Structure 1
Amino acid sequence: MICSNDGHPYSEEDWCGLGGANIWLPYTQMKTDPRPLLADATRGARIRLADGRELIDGVGSWWTACHGYNHPHILAAMCTQMERMPHIMFGGITHEPALRLAKRIAAISPGDLTRVFFVDSGSVAVEVALKMAVQYWLNKGERGRTKFVHFRHGYHGDTTACMAVCDPNEGMHSQFGNYLPKNFLADLPRDKETKTALDDLLRRERNRIAAVIIEPIVQGAGGMKFHDAATLRSVRDLCTKHGVLMIADEIFTGFGRTGRMFACEHASVIPDIMCIGKGLTGGTITLAATLARVHVFEAFWSDDHQKALMHGPTYMANPLACSAANASLDLFESEPRLEQAQRVEFALKRDLEPCRDLPRVIDVRVLGAIGVVQFNRELDHGTARASLLAQGVWIRTLTDCIYLTPALNIQDAELRALTDAVVATAKAL
């Protein structure tokens, strides 16, 4: 017998018959890891399993479902678009959903981030941002600026260029060290010493550096690490001082997750390039984008075709995805999502506080709809997940953390069930 990761058995025959002998799962050792749960349906903040059990989702389906699952307004927009035109190539042809979405994104983004390049995933949005930064300098006649400054505990995706700007020592990509191009790893400028070190690095290597890339305010997959607005402002100021581009990776932090529409707003900074995704379509279908300020775009505006940005994912600006994103933005306009994120923040601060006194807990931190309980060593993930599942919640643990990133509009009782489960599991651990 093979067991799903909640201990409920199903047979080898059932697993293989469903396709288990053919699927390759993410972040999974296929030989030894427990079998996954089998989801059957979703609604609101809940996941229904094939065996009829129901779980409250505490991680918003990898931080995407900001409005909860199956919001009727998004589904209706997608159904209408599906019947009209589910997809059309974006080379030489455009369409109203993409044009309207680009205009709306530009209107809500910080400053003059007015040019929107659509892609089909967050990792590709970062790849495009890095490529854009390098070509920006090439188009301006500076050929040596091909390196990036990135930060300890940072994570920006799983594709090659993205891996090269993740933390090479503590992240999941450490084994690829000899394969990846080398960039400049730095500490976030949290104090005088680290700010001076970053200042010196940018001064010393300015002619080699294309950009600094940062997850503003919250570093997600690298451990849910927070930094304050002053730290983010220091990064912006130092980039400006040394004439280096700043890339903000808002794929996790965007669309209300930190209590603001975009995390850069906490420090009133405008990056030169910004990546968005995840919550862009409200967790319904994949879509991401790389945004550029006016001066970045102008470096590509030329009579020389070689200065064009030569990138184009096959499904970029997919009309079905753009219709979902437009509907998601409708909800941010018509429903009080940012106020709801503040309500979630208040509840998380209140209800996770008992964890602070537990002997293995070294920190409890909350910002917007992000709540983190950090332990003094890496968790026994199997034990933690089994405990959480037994309490009817779906939460993926992360290295030394149990964290919550629920839907912004989650019901109070559902949110309390999540925090109660986290507290009980932290005590059991």
Structure 2
Amino acid sequence: MSLSPTTATAVRPSTCPPPPADDLIRRDRARLWHPYASTTAPGPLQAVTDAEGVRLTLTDEAGVSRRVIDGMSSWWCMIHGYRHPVLDAAVHEQAARFTHVMFGGLTHAPAVQLAESLADLAPGDLDRVFLADSGSVTVEVALKMARQYQISRTQAVGGRLTRTRFAALEGGYHGDTLGAMSVCDPVTGMHAAFADSLPRELFLPRPPRLGAAPEAVAVWADRVRTVLHDHRDVLAGVICEPVLQGAGGMWSYDPEALRVLREVTHAYDLVLVVDEIATGFGRTGPLFASEGAGIVPDVLCVGKAMTGGYLTQAAVLTSDRFARAVSAGPQRALMHGPTFMANPLASAVALASLELIRAGAWRAQVPRIEQRLAAGLAHLTDSPIVTDVRVLGATAAVELDHPVDPWIAARAALDAGVWLRPFGRLVYTMPPYIVTDDDIATITAAIAAVVHAEEAR
């Protein structure tokens, strides 16, 4: 029998204890498919039974429980930590009103206030906001915006549309949906199996590393200017991760490269899309990495930390001028509409997360994390298997001369009291901003433990 609104009673959270970890993992293996994982040869699995602050309580298949530091911020999004009282309150307060409504023809306070807050924080004139479901979706939307901008521009002069392709940086990563995959590195990325299904885009050389000689940056800039000049009539835009490439290799590069891309895209009326899904909201030092480089893109993608990791939501920001140009095209609208766009719960908690960012504690936290990570990892350059140690803001990556065994690495890190998720040749961390100096010391010791485990292999 269904309950009417007048007879329904509030559902209280279950007080039953969670199932034993071994049973939970067994049931998981029977039904779930994990990211970048095999169902026939799955690796070790940990059950999360609690999370608070920067710590996770994990239990393995043998029933061994550990309380460890989350050195990954749950893939870089839990910048304020777990169970933050301000974010918890935002979710509960909005849930007591309504949890979701469609955004076609309707609006609500959390979405409007969030858009206002994002526009206020964003660099330059990026004051028009499209709220999307995830980082990959923002990239899809941004690519559509660029295409529609060029369609509108071509229509205005009565020409024939030729600007349909995109240029991206080698080593870049922008998501796992088809459009986003097309601008990920086709050689070193994760999507080679889909190459024949993707548009063939143009790839610019990876910029010189942060701290490279000015001469190296100048050589790179000359190459990029030449390539973009030669392809100016077929390109709709350029997309890049500013200053720090994330899942494509944790590569930090000279901000001058970003300024060159802005200069050339301006010159040829190409749309510059900056993907700050990983770098936004203070991760590299400034609030936005592009702002730290002194440029304002045409389109800005943000996500991950925007909600403090509580719910999936992301945003695409552009100027009202750019939005008007898109809207003047033959479609008369931006051709995208996610079902869960501007979800009220996600919008409410994102607004609360931005208020914490606006309070500014991260401005002292991120430089402190950078200093401590650099000091704690410097000695690893002496390892015969370490080829590089890179630290920028609240990020650090240790690159080895061979691929890391993910299970050996995870076990070594857990034994040292930290959850890490290495990939490729990298052992890296992007901790929550609230980590203490002692937490950072534990994280750097865990990374060293992984390196030593790899030395012993």
2:411 is matched with which residue? 386
Query: Cα distance, 1:306 vs. partner?
Result: 2.1
- Structure 1 runs (4+) deviating above 6 angstroms are none
2:219 is matched with which residue? 193
2:193 is matched with which residue? 175
Q: Secondary structure at the match of 2:232?
A: helix
Query: Cα distance, 1:204 vs. partner?
Result: 1.6
Q: Secondary structure at the match of 2:340?
A: coil
Which residue, 67, 73, 95 being the options, matches 1:54? 67
Structure 1 or 2, whichever has the larger Rg, is 2
1:6 is matched with which residue? none
1:45 is matched with which residue? 54
Alignment partners' CA distance in 2, 1:36 and 1:89: 37
Post-superposition Cα deviations, 1:394-427, rounded to whole Å, max 9, x if no partner, equal: 0000211111100011122112111111122213
Post-superposition Cα deviations, 1:217-259, rounded to whole Å, max 9, x if no partner, equal: 0000001001011111111111112221100000000011101
Post-superposition Cα deviations, 1:16-40, rounded to whole Å, max 9, x if no partner, equal: 4x34211111100221131321111
What one-letter code is carried by the residue in structure 2 that aligns with 1:48?
T
Post-superposition Cα deviations, 1:339-381, rounded to whole Å, max 9, x if no partner, equal: 1011101100111111111111111111110011111221122
Alignment partners' CA distance in 1, 2:180 and 2:355: 31
Q: Is the 8 A contact 2:140 2:180 kept in 1?
A: yes
Q: Secondary structure at the match of 2:300?
A: strand
2:306 is matched with which residue? 280
Post-superposition Cα deviations, 1:129-175, rounded to whole Å, max 9, x if no partner, equal: 00110001111226221100011110000000000000001111012
Moved more, 71-80 or 381-390: 381-390
Length, aligned pairs only: 418
Q: Is the 8 A contact 1:354 1:423 kept in 2?
A: no
Q: CA RMSD in A?
A: 1.6
Alignment partners' CA distance in 1, 2:357 and 2:84: 13
Query: Cα distance, 1:53 vs. partner?
Result: 1.9
What one-letter code is carried by the residue in structure 2 that aligns with 1:261?
L
Which residue, 352, 366, 378 being the options, matches 1:327? 352
* TM-score, length basis structure 1: 0.94
Residue 422 in 1 paired to residue 447 in 2? yes
Query: Cα distance, 1:209 vs. partner?
Result: 0.5
Q: Structure 1: give runs of 5+ residues left out of the alignment.
A: 1-8
Alignment partners' CA distance in 2, 1:10 and 1:80: 32
2:281 is matched with which residue? 255
Q: Structure 2: give runs of 5+ residues left out of the alignment.
A: 1-19, 209-216
Residue 350 in 1 paired to residue 375 in 2? yes
1:239 is matched with which residue? 265
1:161 is matched with which residue? 179
Q: Secondary structure at the match of 1:424?
A: helix
Residue 81 in 1 paired to residue 108 in 2? no
Alignment partners' CA distance in 2, 1:335 and 1:115: 24
User: Identity of paired residues, percent?
Assistant: 41
Which residue, 30, 34, 37 being the options, matches 1:21? 30
* TM-score, length basis structure 2: 0.88
Post-superposition Cα deviations, 1:42-78, rounded to whole Å, max 9, x if no partner, equal: 1010011245421110010000001111110010011
Q: Secondary structure at the match of 2:31?
A: coil
Q: Secondary structure at the match of 2:316?
A: strand
What one-letter code is carried by the residue in structure 2 that aligns with 1:128?
V
